[in-house]
Structure 1
Amino acid sequence: MRFLKISLLALLVLVIATAAWIGLVGNDLIRTATNSASHSLCASAFLARIDPDRTFGEEQLPLMGAVGRAIHYDVDRRRREVRTTFLGGFAARAVFRDGLGCLLAHGDGPVPEAAGFQPDVIAGGFAQTQVVEATDRAIRKALDQAFAEPDPAHPRLTKAVVVLHDGKLIAERYAPGYGPDTPIYAHSLTKSVVNALIGILVRQGKLQLDQPAPIAAWRSPSDPHHAVTLDQLLRMDSGLPFDETAGALSPMAHMLFLESDMAGYAAAMPLAHPPGTVWGYSNFSYLLLGRVVRDAAGGNAVDAERFARRELFGPLGMRDTVIETDATGTPVGASNVYASARDFARFGQLYLDDGVVDGRRILPEGWVAYSHSQTLKTGYGAGFWTNLVSEGSVPVWDAPWGMPRLPKDMYYARGAFGQYVVIVPSEHLVVVRMGISLDYGTGTEDMIVAIIDALHHQPRDRPAVAAATR
C-alpha cells in the first residue's frame, strides 16, 4: 500500500509537471511536434514507401527529445492518413493525395482536392535501371566514406549518393530500404526547384524579375512590400526577416506546421529592412514564390503540379518527384519536394548544361549564370548557394558559406539534414547526397574532393562505364 501511494504521488507530480511545462512553453510547440510527425510519417508511408516507424526513430524522435517520447501516432493505410497525438491531445492529421503528396489537415474538416489526380507517367530518365556501381576503386572508397558512421553518437544516416560525370551516371549507392526510385524529403533543395519554375515562367514571358512580385496582398502602392521584386525574393534580400532561427518555434516552423495558408502568413510578415539592402535566409520568400507559381499555373494545387510536371519534371525525366502544397493549393516552395536522388541528379545536370536538355531550352538564356551570381556580399545566389566567399559565415547560423576545398566555380542546392546537389562546371560533375544527418556532419565535401581526385587520376582512354542521363 505504501508503494502504491508513492507511485500515485509520483504520477501526480509528473502530471502536474507536464501541465506546467506545457503552460510554460505554450501549445504551439506541441502542435508543431504533432503536425511535423504526422506529415513526415504520412510521406514516409505513402509517398516514399519507407517504414514510418523507422522514419520516426531516425528523424522525428531525435529532434523532439522528451516531447517525442509522449507522441503516439497511427498510420491508417486504408484512409491513407496519419494521426498523431501528444499525451492523448494536440491531435494532428496528414492525408495523402494522389499526385500531390501529403497535406497537413488542420482539424477533421474536408481535405482540399482530397482526390488528388492521376498524373501522366513521365518517360525518359536514365537508361540504366539497375544500381550503377563505380568501376573506379577510389570512387568506391569515397562512397564507402560517405556511408560510414565515424561517430555513432552523431549518425550521418546517408540514404543516397549519385554521381554524374560528363553527363553520365558513373556511381550511386543507397541505404537499405532506399533505391533509385525512392522519393526522399528534399527540404530546402525545393528552393532550387522553385528557382527553375520561376525561370520557366520568365522564359514564357509571364513574369519579369525586376517587376514587383505579383502578390495580391502587396498590390497597394502604399504597402511597403509593394516594391519587393521577384529578383529580391529569389535572392533573399527582399527585406523579410531571417526566419529560420534556432529552436522549434522559429517563424519558419510556425508557418510550415501551424498555418493552413502559408503564403498568406508570409505575406503578412513586416519587412525588417528596406528591400535590396540586407540578406536574410527566407523561407517566407519561397512560399511567396510558390504562390506566384500557383497563380500563374491556374490557381490550384492540381494546376501547379501539372505545370511543374509538364514544364520541368517531364522534360528532365524526373519520374519520382512531387512538390506538395498547403491547403490553399500553394506549392510549399521552401521545403516540400520529395524526389529520388537520381531525379535531383538530372536536375543538377540541367543547370550544368545551361538550362538545356535534349536540345530543348527549359530555362532562359543566362538564367543559370544569374542563379549562381553573388547576392550582395554573401555566398548566396538566387536559389543556389555559391563558393564565391572564402571568409565569414552565414548570419545567425554561424555556418560556412561554401565548401572551400572545392573549385570556386562550384555552386549547389542545399537542404536541412544534409541534402545536397553539388554542381562543379570545371569538372563536368554533379554529385547528389541525401540523408538524415541531424548534426550536419555529412562528409559531403570530403567525398567530392575524393571523387574529383579520382577522376583526375583515371586514364584518359577509360571506357564508358554508365548510361546517359536521357
Structure 2
Amino acid sequence: MALRLLKITLVTLIVFLIAAAIWIGTAGKDLFYTATGSISHSLCASAFLSRLDPDRTFTEEQLPLMRSIGGAIHYEVDHARHEVRTSVFGEFAARAVYREGLGCLLVHGDEAVPEAAGFKPAPIASSYPANLVEPADPAIRRALDRAFAEPDPAHPRLTKAVVVLHDGQLIAERYAQGYGVDTPIWGHSLSKSVTSALIGILVRQGRLRLNQPAPIAAWCSPADPHHAVTIDQLLRMDSGLPFDETDGAISPMTRMLFLERDMAGYAARMPLAHPPGSAWGYSNLGYVLLSRIVRDAAGGSAVDAERFVRRELFAPLGMRSAVVETDTTGTPIGSGSVYASARDFARFGQLYLDDGVVDGRRILPEGWVDYSRSQTLDTGYGAGFWTNLVNSSRVPVWNAPWGMPRLPKDMYYARGALGQYVVIVPSERLVVVRMGISLDYGTGVDDLVAAIIDALHHRPART
C-alpha cells in the first residue's frame, strides 16, 4: 500500500513538473519576461532619471504586484553602465538602459542600444521660484495634510507630490521625502494627454487634420479595415481597436510595452474589435500609433522626436524636467512614458486652462481645448482627457467611475495609473496635480480638490 501511494505521488509530481515546464515555456515565459521588463524599466528610471532610491521604488511599486515570485526576483543596478538587469529564478533576464535626454530604454536580449549616447538637451528656464512654496491658507495646508496622510496603512496612498495653481499662480505644493520641485515622476497615462497636445501642435502647423485617415504605413491600403480609422478616432479611443488594459498580467498593453521592440508595429497589426467610430475602448495601442505619427513628423529618430517635443511644448511651458521615453525604433511611448515634475505637469494643466496659449504665444490650435474635453459617444472621455460629464454609468471593464461627482461639472482631467492626476477646473481657475504610488486606487484626489475649492471660496479677499 505504501509503495502504491509512493508511485502515485511520484507520478503526480512528474505530471506537475511537466505541466510547469510546459507553462514556463509558453504562457509563463511571457509572464516572467513581463515581470523582469517592468522591474528593469521602473528601477532604471528611478535611479538614473528621477534620482530616487531604486530599492525603495521596488518595494513600493513593483514588489506588491509580484509577491508570489518575490523571492525569485534578482535585480542589479549598474551605476557605471547606467543600466538595470533583472531576472526571475536566474532566467528571463531583462535589461533597461538610461540614455541622456531620452530616459530609459527596455532592450530585448543583448541587442545594441540604438542612439545609445542620447543627447544633451538645452536647459529650459522656469518662471517658478527655486524654493518650496508653502500654502499661506491654513485650510489648504490641512487639505495637503490629509492628502499625504495614510488613513488605511493596509492600503497605502503613498502620495509623492501635490501642486496647486490658482489664477496662474503657484499657491501651494508638498512633496514626500526624497522628492522635490524638479523630481521627474512617472506620469503613466498622463502621457496620453501630452500626446494629444503634440497632435494638436501638428494640426496647428497644418501637418495633420483630425478627420484624415491616420497616416500609418501598414494601414495605407483602402482594402484594409484600419484604413478608415481617423486621427480623431485614435484620440477619442473609438477607433475600433480593442480595450487593451485589463486586470490580467498579460494583455495587449503589457505585451506591447514589455515584449515588443516595435510597439507601433505591434499596435498596427492588432485586429479591430469594432467598426471605427462605433464603440469606445481604452487604447494604449492607439496612443502609441499617434506617437509614431509624431515621430515621423519630427524626423524619424528618438532624438528627433525628443527635440520636437522640447521645442514645441516643453520649452514654451517651462517644463524643464520633462522627458518622453521611446521604444527601440525611436517611437515615443506616448501612451504612458512621460516623466516630469509635478510642477511641470501643473504647467501643462495651466496651458489648457489658458486655452492653449502661454505668454501670448499660441501653442495649441484655437478651439483645441474645447475639443479635447468634448464628449466621445456616451462616455466620460474626451480626446486625451477624462471629463466630468457622465456620472450615471461606469467605465467598462474597469467598473470605475467616469468622473468625480463632487467637483464642478466643467472639471476635466488627465489621469494615470497608480494615482497620477492633473485636474483642471475652469470655473475656479484652478489646476491641481497629485502624484503617487497608489496601488489600491484610493487616492482621495476628489476630496483634495473639493477641499481646496472650499478653502478658496472662504479665504479673505485680496486687498
Instruction: Tell me the TM-score normalised to structure 2 length.
Output: 0.95
The Cα shift of 1:21 comes to 6.2
The answer for the alignment partner of 2:93 in structure 1 is 91
Deviations 1:200-237 (A, max 9, x none): 00000000000000000001111000000000000000
The answer for the alignment partner of 2:76 in structure 1 is 74
2:120 match: secondary structure: coil
The Cα shift of 1:375 comes to 0.2
2:401 match: secondary structure: coil
1:432 match: secondary structure: strand
Q: How many residues align?
A: 450
Q: Is the aligned partner of 1:459 residue 2:460?
A: yes
Partner letter of residue 428 of structure 1? Answer: R
The answer for the alignment partner of 1:328 in structure 2 is 329
Partner letter of residue 98 of structure 2? Answer: F
The Cα shift of 1:428 comes to 0.2
CA distance in 1 between counterparts of 2:120 and 2:460 reads: 48
The answer for the alignment partner of 2:47 in structure 1 is 45
Are the aligned partners of 2:23 and 2:29 in contact in 1 as well (CA < 8 Å)?
no
2:198 match: secondary structure: helix
1:153 match: secondary structure: coil
The answer for the alignment partner of 1:216 in structure 2 is 217
Partner letter of residue 408 of structure 2? Answer: P
CA distance in 2 between counterparts of 1:168 and 1:69 reads: 48
The Cα shift of 1:370 comes to 0.1
CA distance in 2 between counterparts of 1:86 and 1:390 reads: 43
2:435 match: secondary structure: strand
Query: Does the C-alpha gap of structure 1 residues 35 and 233 become closer, same or farther in structure 2, counting only changes over 3 Å?
Result: same
CA distance in 1 between counterparts of 2:157 and 2:126 reads: 32
Q: Is the aligned partner of 1:446 residue 2:447?
A: yes
2:355 match: secondary structure: coil
Percent of aligned positions that are identical: 77
The answer for the alignment partner of 1:397 in structure 2 is 398
The answer for the alignment partner of 1:355 in structure 2 is 356
The Cα shift of 1:242 comes to 0.3
The answer for the alignment partner of 1:337 in structure 2 is 338
Are the aligned partners of 1:100 and 1:325 in contact in 2 as well (CA < 8 Å)?
yes
CA distance in 2 between counterparts of 1:22 and 1:396 reads: 28
The Cα shift of 1:18 comes to 6.6
Partner letter of residue 339 of structure 2? Answer: Y
Q: Is the aligned partner of 1:116 residue 2:118?
A: yes
Partner letter of residue 107 of structure 1? Answer: G
CA distance in 1 between counterparts of 2:458 and 2:45 reads: 42
Partner letter of residue 260 of structure 1? Answer: R
CA distance in 2 between counterparts of 1:283 and 1:412 reads: 17
The Cα shift of 1:68 comes to 2.7
CA distance in 1 between counterparts of 2:123 and 2:45 reads: 20
Deviations 1:300-326 (A, max 9, x none): 100000000000000000000000000
The answer for the alignment partner of 1:240 in structure 2 is 241
Deviations 1:165-222 (A, max 9, x none): 0000000000000000000000000000001100000000000000000000001111
The answer for the alignment partner of 2:32 in structure 1 is 30
Partner letter of residue 40 of structure 1? Answer: S
CA distance in 2 between counterparts of 1:271 and 1:377 reads: 20
Deviations 1:103-160 (A, max 9, x none): 000011210110101111111331x111111011110000001000011110000000
Are the aligned partners of 1:134 and 1:140 in contact in 2 as well (CA < 8 Å)?
yes
The answer for the alignment partner of 2:419 in structure 1 is 418
Partner letter of residue 365 of structure 2? Answer: P
What is the 5 A alignment of 1:79-228?
79-126=81-128, 128-228=129-229
Deviations 1:418-450 (A, max 9, x none): 000000000000000000000010000001100
The Cα shift of 1:20 comes to 6.9
The Cα shift of 1:455 comes to 0.3
2:275 match: secondary structure: coil
CA distance in 2 between counterparts of 1:366 and 1:69 reads: 53
The answer for the alignment partner of 1:466 in structure 2 is none
The Cα shift of 1:246 comes to 1.2
Q: Structure 1: any 5+ residue segments left out of the alignment?
A: 1-8, 463-470
Moved more, 73-82 or 19-28: 19-28
The answer for the alignment partner of 1:436 in structure 2 is 437
Deviations 1:52-101 (A, max 9, x none): 00000000000112123311000000000000000100000000001000
Are the aligned partners of 1:266 and 1:287 in contact in 2 as well (CA < 8 Å)?
yes
The answer for the alignment partner of 2:253 in structure 1 is 252
The answer for the alignment partner of 2:366 in structure 1 is 365
CA distance in 1 between counterparts of 2:153 and 2:276 reads: 44
Are the aligned partners of 1:235 and 1:382 in contact in 2 as well (CA < 8 Å)?
yes
Partner letter of residue 29 of structure 2? Answer: N
The answer for the alignment partner of 2:61 in structure 1 is 59
Are the aligned partners of 1:240 and 1:280 in contact in 2 as well (CA < 8 Å)?
yes
The answer for the alignment partner of 1:382 in structure 2 is 383
Partner letter of residue 459 of structure 1? Answer: P
CA distance in 2 between counterparts of 1:265 and 1:21 reads: 24
Are the aligned partners of 1:60 and 1:68 in contact in 2 as well (CA < 8 Å)?
no
Partner letter of residue 214 of structure 2? Answer: A
The Cα shift of 1:22 comes to 3.1
Partner letter of residue 27 of structure 1? Answer: K
Instruction: Tell me the TM-score normalised to structure 1 length.
Output: 0.94
CA distance in 2 between counterparts of 1:68 and 1:178 reads: 26
Moved more, 18-27 or 383-392: 18-27
RMSD of equivalent CA atoms: 1.4
Partner letter of residue 110 of structure 1? Answer: A
The Cα shift of 1:25 comes to 4.4
1:176 match: secondary structure: coil
Q: Is the aligned partner of 1:230 residue 2:237?
A: no
2:96 match: secondary structure: strand
CA distance in 2 between counterparts of 1:69 and 1:438 reads: 20
2:289 match: secondary structure: helix
Are the aligned partners of 2:99 and 2:116 in contact in 1 as well (CA < 8 Å)?
yes
Q: Structure 2: any 5+ residue segments left out of the alignment?
A: 1-9
The Cα shift of 1:460 comes to 1.2
CA distance in 1 between counterparts of 2:339 and 2:317 reads: 15
Partner letter of residue 167 of structure 2? Answer: D
